[in-house]
Structure 1
């Protein structure tokens, strides 16, 4: 079901192959997404497969490629909305669309839910589904409030799970957000740790040290992995040539790009494309 309020769009749908036609996800490719996954679900996100052990929420930016479960509907539900619906509003930084759940280059942001948290989230989802059936002047704002409630609760859970919930750790959370946002904005044109250290007014050594306290990956790994992910998306889902992909990622020498991709994936770009 999809509701439109002028240019603002908000929808929800059951997330299995049986429930979706092949064009549904293409139509909402530019939408921001929240996916509820019951335990024992399986999902593929950007070429990685996951077995979900506990009820979970997954937060997805536009263009992220997700493949639905092949089994019958078992409770997987996708909420999706465009930026006009939510992001034009002035929100608290942590729960905006560029908050840590949607602006996280460190990991795919699954939020694992315990039994009480899952019940709480599912109750909000049921309220959303009920509200979607209404047609009154308050429907849009109610949907926005319920969506923000899910994001707010999930941000709190994420911070607790990553041991970043204390007040004296808020600067760490904000640093994660800032570095993630910079990588997401500039990975196509800025490829070195020194580039991002300069933007953050740090030395490369200090940036690596700070990220090392918060992530198992180095800044160089994070930047490199984001470039590789985009390369895979373009190889698998567009007709662009390898040379065009290299140029779009600011590699003037496509031979260098091919060596970079092959070294980091163990397979050449053309061989990767043939898999799809």
Structure 2
């Protein structure tokens, strides 16, 4: 099988070269047509790259069996049940070890699935991939886990078949998995937060999430996003409160802090450059903001955490 080339940001190298240098994961199967790419990767002790940064520019659906541990964007999850994780591009993933035989990653790019006509609840900018409420992950009951495994087998089989309709079938299988997962996520994370007399405004959260992801470097206030949503800060805050969610301001600030932490740990940018990147003209103000949220200066955070990456 001819493996696809990987774009690592600075340069592009062939997958075989990655294998020889980093012992990266080898896909069990993949589909590639021009710029469209989707691949299925196994996760096992014999084939595990702890730092999955070679998939940084891919959207990822990660299936892990119970008993495993995964760290995504500085948060560690110890799994007591099988689980699915939905990881967007530029998020940092780390797995120290793996147990079980069914663990897999679907990695695909936006050209394969995420063009504007897919801009719906189940697209890559939908609830599972652009969500300020929490990292989208779902815990799976036994029956749900079996359905996910079946979906993964369907994707594997279709990639192996590789006929003229494979691209469309793969997109159908992927969309089916995302729809199935979205329903579970909503049930686990939203339905228990509302009473019968409060309407569930899913679009509000999806749109709010998307807007933060687009504008967090330049827009830092609730009023900025209320304007974009054509509502008032008071109404927006009230809707969050009725669902027992944090103030929208917390989600905005948390997204800025998350990016600051990424830039501090995974880049060599100076504190001043990071401040400017995140829309702060006054680096001293950014420093105070970071201390207020994290309890330590950006420099101390970098020094304490860089040694662990």
Q: Is the TM value for this pair above 0.5? A: yes
Name the CA distance, whole Å, in 1 between partners of 2:195 and 2:240.
Answer: 18
Answer yes or no: is the 8 Å Cα contact 2:122–2:182 preserved in 1.
Answer: yes
Q: Is the 8 A contact 2:131 2:210 kept in 1?
A: yes
Give the direction of change, closer, same or farther, for the CA distance of 1:249–1:121 in structure 2 (3 Å limit).
same
Q: Distance in 1 between matches of 2:182 and 2:49?
A: 32
Asked if the contact 2:102/2:149 (under 8 Å) is kept, the reply is no
**Separation of aligned partners in 2, 1:28 and 1:97:** 16
* Equivalent in the alignment of 2:92: 65
- Which deviations, in whole Å up to 9, do the C-alpha atoms of 1:139-164 show, x marking residues without a partner? 21221111111001011112222218
Q: For 1:253, which of 269, 272, 282 is the aligned residue?
A: 282
CA shift, 1:73, in A, is 5.1
**Cα deviation, residue 91, structure 1:** 3.2
Partner of residue 181, structure 1: 210
* 2:68–2:99 Cα contact (<8 Å) kept: no
The 3 A distance-change label for structure 1 pair 38 and 128 is: same
Specify the alignment match of 2:32 in structure 1. 4
SS of residue in 2 equivalent to 1:86: coil
Alpha-carbon distance in structure 1 between the residues aligned to 2:198 and 2:37: 35
Asked if the contact 1:41/1:69 (under 8 Å) is kept, the reply is no
Counterparts of 1:17 and 1:267 in 2: how far apart (Å)? 37
The 10-residue stretch of structure 1 (201-210 or 103-112) with the greater mean CA deviation from structure 2: 201-210
Please name the residue that 1:197 is paired with. 226
Residues of 1 paired with 2:135 and 2:216: CA distance? 17
1:210 paired to 2:239: yes
Distance 1:71 1:240 in 2: 33
**Structure 1 CA distance, aligned partners of 2:244 and 2:259?**
21
Provide the rounded CA distance (Å) in 2 between the counterparts of 1:209 and 1:153.
30
Q: Residues 104, 160 of structure 1: CA spacing in aligned structure 2 closer, same or farther, 3 A cutoff?
A: same
Q: Which has the higher contact order (CA 8 A, sep 6+)?
A: 1
Unaligned 5+ runs, structure 2: 1-26
How big is the shift at 1:201?
2.2
TM-score, structure 1 normalization:
0.92
- Within 5 A, what are the aligned runs for 1:117-128? 117-128=144-155
SS for the counterpart of 1:50 is strand
Q: Structure 1 residues 97 and 156 mapped into 2: Cα distance closer, same or farther (>3 Å)?
A: same
* 1:54 is the counterpart of 2:81: yes
Question: Contact conserved, 1:101 with 1:109, CA < 8 A, in 2?
Answer: yes
Counterpart of 1:266 in structure 2 is 295
Question: Paired residues, what number?
Answer: 275
CA deviation vs aligned residue, 1:51-89 (integer Å, no higher than 9, x gap)? 112111111110010102423554321101000101127
Instruction: Give TM-score scaled by structure 2 length.
Output: 0.83
Instruction: List gaps (5 residues or longer) in structure 1.
Output: none
Offset of 1:223 from its aligned partner? Answer: 0.3
